Amino acid sequence: MAASDIAQRAQFLRDQLNYHNYRYYVLDSPEIPDAEYDRLFRELLEIEAAHPELLTADSPTQRIGGLPLSGFSQVTHRQPMLSLNNAFDENEVIAFDRRVREAAGQEIIEYEVDPKFDGLAISLTYENGVFIQGATRGDGYTGEDVTQNLRTVSAIPLRVASDTPPKLLEVRGEVLMLHKDFAALNAAQREKGEKTFANPRNAAAGSLRQLDSRITASRKLAFFAYGVGEVQGWKLPKKFSDIMQQLKQWHFPVASESEVVQGVEGLLDYFQHLGGKRDKLAFDIDGVVYKVNDLQLQEELGFVSRAPRFAIAHKYPAQEEITQVLDIDVQVGRTGAITPVARLAPVFVGGVTVTNATLHNEDEVRRKDVRIGDWVSVRRAGDVIPEVVSVMEDRRQDDVREFVMPDKCPVCGSHVVRLEGEAVARCSGGLFCPAQRKQALLHFASRRAMDIEGLGEKIVDQLVDNAIVHNPSDLYKLGLVKLANLDRMAEKSASNLLAAIEKSRSTSLPRFIFALGIRNVGEATAKDLARHFGKLDVLMAANEAVLTQVTDVGPIVAQSVAQFFAESHNREVIEQLRAAGVHWPESEPRRTHGIGALAGKTFVLTGAMPNMTRDEAKERIEAAGGKVAGSVSKKTDYVVAGAEAGSKLTKAQELGVTILDEDGLLALLNPEAQGKLEF
C-alpha cells in the first residue's frame, strides 16, 4: 500500500473506532459487535507499530495506558475551577432565587438544573478539537496533570466531534464510577486479596490518581460534562443549556437528568423529583446544581470570593457519616441466617437516624476488621439497609473488643452451623426457632406477598411469644378477642387487622408462592413459576429437571423449590391455608415455556397513561410474559410513554427504541389482535 493510503486508512480506522466508542460508552447503543471493534482496533495497532509517525494524540490505541509516571506534574487552569455555595434546605434555595431575581430585576428566572455528581472534578483541554491535557481540580487554580489516565476513560472523547471545533476548549465535568462497576471492582479486589474501596467516589479517585495508567485503564470510570472553562474560536450561545446541548453534539456525555426549569418552584420540584430517583440512578449524587440559564445574567451576577453568584448546589442528606460501634450482636433471619449487626451511637445519615448497621457475615467483620468500640463510617442509601463501610483505624483505642460469633442461636439455643464454602452461618432450629418463625410470618404478611396491612413486628412478636400463632395458617383462626387482648392493640386496630387478614384470603398464585418464603424465590421467580405451572399442585409436583425449564430458574432455585415442597411440614401448612379459605385463580399450565404474547420483551413505563395506572400496565405486561424494567437501555424493546414522560422518553428516542402510547400497548396486549398467545 502507498504511504498516503496507509495514512488514510489509519485516519479512517481512528474515526471509526472513535465513533463506535461513542456509540458504546456514551449512547449505550453499539452499532457493531465487539469482535468487529477489536478487529479494527488491532488493524490500527499494527499500522501504528509499523509506522510510528502515524500515531496521533487522538488515536483510540492511546486509551490502553502507557508506562508508569514518577509523579504528576502541576497544571494551571486557564480559568479557575471554582467551587459552589451550598444550600442545605428550601429556605436557602428561596433566598438564592430571591437574590438572583433582585439583581436581575426579573419576576421569574430560568435555570438549568443537573445532578451534582459525587465524583472528582476535572478539566479537559482540547486544542483544535484534539484532547491534549486533562487535570484534576486541585485547589481550583492548579491541579495535577492526569492526561494519560483520562485518555483511558472511554467516555471522554479524544477528539471533538466536529469539522470546525473551537480553537481552544476547556470542558469541565466529573469522573465517577457507576455502582455496577464499583461492585465488580470490589469483588475482584476481594478475590485477589487486595484492598477494597469504601465507596464509588474513593474508587474513582484511587483509579484516577494512579501513576500507572494501565491500572486506570483496567478500572471502569465514567465521565459527565457539566460546563466549560476557557473557550476560544467558538461564539458562546445565549443560554447555558445550549452550551450543554453543543457539548452533547460534540460527543461529550451529559447527564440525561439535566433539565431547564422556571423559577424557584421548578428548582424545588426538580430537587424532589430527582431525590425520589436518587437510589435508582446508576451513580452516586450528593445533590443537584442550579445555574442561571441566561449567560449574560450569569456574567452580571459574577462571583463572590471563590463561588459563582449565579449557581448553587442544593444538597441531599449525606449518605455516609461517622459514628461509634457500641456493640456487635447477631440477628436471626427468616432462613436462619445469623447476621452480625453493629449497634451504633445514633447518627443522622441518608435522611434518618441510624442505630444499627449490618455487617453481613462473620468474614465481613474480619475483613473490615470492625471491633466493638471502633469509630466507623456508616452508609445508608435510600431504603437499603445501613452498612458499616470502613473503620477509622487512626481513632482506634486500646480497649476495643473483637466480635465472637456465637455457636448457639441466641434465640432458640440450637446449634449455629456454617457449611463449607458458605459465607453465612445459620441457626439449625428451622421453624422451631421463634426468630425464624417471626420472620417467616412477617414475610408472609408483607405488602408484595399476602399484603396483610397492620401485621407488624410488635404484633408478630406477641403472637409467636404467646404461642397464639405457630405458622401462617394460624393467622386465619384469629378472633377479635384474642387480638384485642394483645399489648397496645385497640379494638379498632384489631378489627382492621382482622379485615386485612380476611381480605388476604383472596389472593393470586404469584403472591401466594412468594409468601411461602421459599429460599431463593423472590417476587420475580414466584411470578415465573406461577406463569409456567398455572396451578399450585402442578408446581408442587414438579421435580428439579422440570423446574429448570422455567424461564430464569437455574439449578439452585430449582433445588430450593423442590426441597421446600418435599418437606411434609410445608405441604401441611399449605393444606391448612387452603382449608382456611386462602384461594387464587388458577390457569392451565404452559405447554412450553417462553410463550405469551409479550414473552421475552422488555418494557419501560414512563409518564401517566389516560386509563391505566402504571401498576395495572405492569401486571398486564407481566401476565403476557413481558418484563418491566426501570430504566431504558439498548435492551429495551418498548417504552410506553404517557403524559409528561421525562428523560426515559428522550433516552428511548436517542436509542431508537419503539415508543408506544396506551393504545399501542393495548394492541400488543390483545392476544386476538396479535394471534400469538399459545396457552
Q: Annotated catalytic sites, by residue?
A: 116
Q: How far is the CB of 194 from ligand 5U1 (least distance, A)?
A: 31
In the bound state with ligand 5U1, the residue whose beta carbon lies nearer, of 308 and 410, is: 308
CB 298 within 8 A of CB 310: yes
Applying CB under 6 A, does 138 fall inside the site for ligand 5U1?
Answer: no
Nearest to 221 by CA among 175, 171, 180: 175
Which grid cell is 280?
A: 435508582
Residue 648 touches ligand 5U1, criterion: CB under 6 A = no
State which H helix or E strand residue 130 sits in: strand 130-136
Is 144 or 286 the residue whose CB approaches ligand 5U1 more closely? 286
**Residue 340 and residue 329: Cα distance in Å, rounded?**
6
291 binds ligand 5U1 (CB under 6 A): yes
Nearer to ligand 5U1, 146 or 433 (CB): 146
Closest CA to 148 of 91, 74, 68, 222: 68
User: Whose Cβ is closer to ligand 5U1: residue 161's or residue 307's?
Assistant: 307
x-or-dash string of contact with ligand 5U1, 93-132, rule CB under 6 A: ---------------------x-xx---------------
> What do you get for the CA distance between the two ends of the chain, in Å?
62
Between the alpha carbon of residue 330 and those of residues 156, 239, 412, the distances in Å are: 46, 57, 13
Place of cell 401462617: 472
Burial tier of 52 (Cβ tally within 10 Å: 0-12, 13-18, 19+): exposed
Q: Which 45-74 residues touch ligand 5U1, going by CB under 6 A?
A: none
Applying CB under 6 A, which of residues 7, 82, 205, 655 lies at the interface with ligand 5U1? 82
Residue 84 lies near ligand 5U1 (rule: CB under 6 A): yes
* Shortest reach from residue 261's CB to ligand 5U1, in Å: 14
Neighbours of 673 (CB within 10 A): 11
Instruction: Identify whether the C-beta of residue 201 lies closer than 8 Å to the C-beta of residue 120.
Output: yes
Site for ligand 5U1 in 306-345 (CB under 6 A): 308, 311
The stretch near ligand 5U1 (CB under 6 A) out of 24-32, 76-84, 444-452, 599-607 is 76-84
C-beta closer to ligand 5U1: residue 543 or 650? 650
Cβ–Cβ under 8 Å, residues 450 and 465: no
Least distance CB 299 / ligand 5U1 (angstroms):
12
- Backbone phi and psi for residue 276, each to the nearest 5 degrees, phi listed first: -65, -25
Return the DSSP state at 588.
P
Min CB(21)–ligand 5U1 separation in Å = 24
Yes or no: say if 180 and 282 are a contact pair by the CB < 8 Å rule: yes
Q: How far apart are CA 90 and CA 620, in angstroms?
A: 40
Least separation in angstroms between residue 129's CB and ligand 5U1 is: 23
Quote helix, strand, coil % in the chain, to nearest 5.
40, 20, 40
Stretch binding ligand 5U1 (CB under 6 A), from 82-90, 471-479, 576-584, 647-655: 82-90
Residues in region 215-234 near ligand 5U1 by CB under 6 A: 226-227
- Using the contact rule CB under 6 A, the part of the chain among 79-87, 409-417, 509-517, 607-615 near ligand 5U1 is 79-87
Binding of ligand 5U1 by 607 (CB under 6 A): no
**Interface contacts to ligand 5U1, rule CB under 6 A:** 82-84, 114, 116-117, 226-227, 289, 291, 308, 311
